[in-house]
């Protein structure tokens, strides 16, 4: 049987991740790294015992970093990013109704990682990369359909068959995504420290 | 720097799009003739095959999904089955499925008929890789086939100002007679209320390795 030559494809439900290359990030990062050195000297590792991975984090014990005076410029940057991402998502909110629920630092030394997780009780999540040495760990995103039990072998990964997408960060990269999107960081297999700020918001 | 208005300053941004679902749509060139043959065969089957709709399905419809679901082996449906098989190969190629998995073939094929006020509630097709629908008779304003986004199951549902592809919780597919559509079996879908007098007749199928 012959067919109509035109075969059409409709793309549904793409999952957006917004990437912002922060202009003049070097000077901001220099100030923030100095602030974070102070934070890490005075804040013990807040990694819960229930996490399988190893990482230095202040998620549980120092997660209002954006309220510190030294983070003022970053706080504005983060809020602007949330506004832009929320606008792209079509959300109905204002800067006044935006609530930053947490802002914390993660530091990955050699071999450290972050297992798959998401951020309940939030709408939008972001990460800012202050230090991301060459070949440091990427961030991985995991499809909402990653758990399907039928997955045939493929001869080449592509956007349709791979339930994992990776993004290799560079210093000054600011990313935003839906808080329900599961993500992880594989082992940091280099000596240089990978330092990121993470933050959640709702409205 | 003050952030009170989105338009005061805009950071340079790029949206990366991950994990899209695709729906393949094609149509046999002789679909009118094919549908005429199919309608006669379907009419005969309806007369001899009781409705197999399980009680736990909320919507009402006539289906042979449970009691006559090997239509691909019946002579009157072989031409359609051959067309579907070729289209499945093309759809599978988009996913780079390795030949070592074996051949993907139709494992179930059945009839669905919706009368006025019928519908089909949300479902997916376990134990299969791809599934699809061939539309034999589609009156004007027939009940739409609708796909549900994984975000539709999220327990936090932010207020929406502008509907777009990133916040879409359901996508309706406007089909026409002769359309064959194929999609991933795990993608949840449903048929919205069929609110017209003329029957909506389709053939559903699943395929597996």
pLDDT of B108: 98
pTM for the predicted model, two decimal places: 0.93
Is B52 part of a structural domain of the chain? yes
Reported ipTM exceeds the 0.90 cut:
yes
Share of chain A above pLDDT 90, in %: 93
Chain B residues closer than 8 Å to A203 by CB: 158
Q: Which of B9, B19, B147 sits opposite A14 (nearest CB)?
A: B19
Residues A73-126: tens digit of each pLDDT: 999 999 999 999 999 999 999 999 999 999 999 999 999 999 999 999 999 999
Cα(B203)–Cα(B28) distance, integer angstroms: 14
| B48 belongs to a structural domain | yes
Please report residues of B whose CB lies closer than 8 A to that of A174.
11
- Supply the mean pLDDT for chain A: 95
pLDDT in tens, B62-106: 999 999 999 999 999 999 999 999 999 999 999 999 988 889 999
Nearest CA in chain A to B130: A150
Q: Which two tokens stand for residue B137?
A: 């008779």
Alpha helix (H) residue ranges in chain B: 31-48, 78-94
| Structural domains of chain B, count | 1
- Looking up tokens 């304003």 gives B141
Does a structural domain hold residue B6?
no
Residue A58: both structure tokens together: 């202040």
- Measured CA to CA in angstroms, residue B51 lies from A43, A107, B58, B112 at distances of 67, 61, 14, 10
Summarize chain A as % helix, strand, coil (round to 5): 20, 35, 45
Question: How many Å separate Cα B187 from the centre of its chain?
Answer: 9
User: Would you state the pLDDT for residue B188?
Assistant: 96
| Nearest-CB residue to A84 (from B2, B11, B21) | B11
Q: What is the CATH number of the domain that holds B53?
A: 2.60.120.620
In a domain, B10, yes or no: no
Gyration radius from chain A CA atoms: 19
A156 and B96: CB-CB below 8 Å? yes
Across the interface, whether the CB atoms of A158 and B14 are under 8 A apart is answered: no
In a domain, B60, yes or no: yes
Chain A contacts of B2, Cβ < 8 Å?
76
Cβ-defined contact of B95 to A158 (cutoff 8 Å)? yes
Inter-chain residue contact A174 with B11, CB threshold 8 Å: yes
User: Among B7-11, B44-48, B62-66, B101-105, which stretch is predicted with the lowest mean pLDDT?
Assistant: B7-11
Is the separation of the CB atoms in A71 and A35 below 8 Å? yes
Cα distances from A70 to residues A42, A188, B185, in angstroms, run 15, 28, 51
Does residue A147 sit at the B interface (CB-CB below 8 Å)? no
Closest A-chain CA to B21: A12
**Residue A7 pLDDT class (50, 70, 90 cuts):** confident
Task: Say which residue, B156 or A127, is predicted with more confidence.
Answer: A127
Q: How far is CA A104 from CA A56, A59, A101, A198, in A?
A: 10, 5, 10, 5
Q: What is the pLDDT of residue B99?
A: 84
User: Cβ(A125)–Cβ(A168) under 8 Å?
Assistant: no
Q: Which structure tokens are listed for B169?
A: 């919780």
Our CA-based measurement puts residue B37 at a distance from the nearest CA of chain A, in whole angstroms, of 15
Give, in degrees to the nearest 5, the angle at Cα A188 between A186 and A192.
160
Residues 40-59, chain A, touching B (beta carbon < 8 A):
none
CA A54 – CA A57 distance, rounded (Å):
9
Q: State the pLDDT confidence band at A3, using cuts at 50, 70 and 90.
A: very low
Residue A149 banded pLDDT, cuts 50, 70, 90: confident
CA-derived radius of gyration, chain B: 20
**Gap from B149 CA to chain A (nearest CA, Å):** 6
Chain B CB within 8 Å of residue A87 CB: yes
* Greatest CA separation for chain B: 75
* B115: containing domain: 22-150+163-208
Which of B169, B165, B201, B205 shows the shortest CA–CA distance to B188?
Answer: B169
CA angle A45, A69, B9 (to 5 degrees): 110
């Amino acid at each position: 049987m012959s067919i109509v030559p035109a075969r059409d494809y409709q793309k549904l439900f793409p999952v957006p991740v917004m990437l912002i290359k922060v202009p003049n990030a070097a000077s901001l990062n220099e100030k923030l790294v100095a602030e974070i050195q102070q934070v890490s000297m005075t804040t013990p590792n807040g990694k819960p015992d229930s996490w399988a991975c190893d990482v230095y984090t202040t998620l549980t014990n120092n997660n209002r970093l954006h309220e510190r005076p030294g983070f003022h410029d970053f706080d504005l940057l983060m809020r602007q990013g949330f506004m832009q991402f929320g606008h792209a998502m079509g959300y109905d909110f204002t800067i006044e109704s935006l609530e930053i629920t947490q802002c914390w630092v993660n530091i990955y030394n050699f071999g450290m990682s972050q297992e798959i997780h998401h951020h309940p009780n939030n709408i939008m999540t972001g990460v800012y990369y202050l230090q991301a040495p060459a070949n440091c760990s990427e961030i991985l995103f995991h499809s909402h359909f990653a758990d399907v039990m039928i997955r045939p072998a493929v001869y080449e990964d592509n956007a349709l068959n791979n339930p994992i997408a990776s993004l290799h960060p560079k210093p000054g990269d600011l990313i935003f995504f839906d808080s329900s999107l599961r993500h992880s960081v594989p082992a940091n297999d280099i000596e240089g420290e990978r330092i990121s700020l993470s933050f959640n918001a709702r409205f | 720097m003050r952030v009170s208005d989105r338009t005061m300053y805009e950071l340079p941004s790029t949206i990366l799009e991950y994990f899209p679902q695709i729906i393949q749509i094609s149509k046999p060139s002789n679909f009118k003739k094919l549908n005429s043959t199919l309608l006669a065969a379907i009419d005969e089957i309806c007369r001899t095959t009781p409705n197999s709709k399980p009680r736990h399905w909320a919507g009402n419809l006539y289906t042979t999904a449970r009691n006559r679901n090997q239509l691909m082996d019946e002579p009157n449906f072989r031409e359609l089955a051959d067309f579907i098989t070729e289209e499945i190969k093309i759809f599978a190629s988009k996913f780079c499925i390795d030949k070592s998995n074996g051949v993907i073939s139709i494992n179930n094929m059945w009839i669905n008929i919706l009368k006025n006020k019928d519908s089909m509630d949300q479902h997916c097709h376990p134990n299969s890789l791809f599934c699809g629908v061939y539309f034999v008779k589609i009156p004007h304003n027939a009940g739409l086939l609708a796909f549900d986004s994984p975000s539709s199951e999220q327990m936090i549902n932010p207020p929406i100002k502008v509907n777009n592809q990133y916040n879409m919780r359901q996508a309706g597919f406007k089909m026409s007679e002769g359309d064959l559509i194929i999609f991933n079996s795990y993608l949840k879908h449903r048929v919205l209320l069929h609110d017209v007098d003329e029957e909506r007749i389709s053939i559903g199928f699943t395929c597996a390795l």
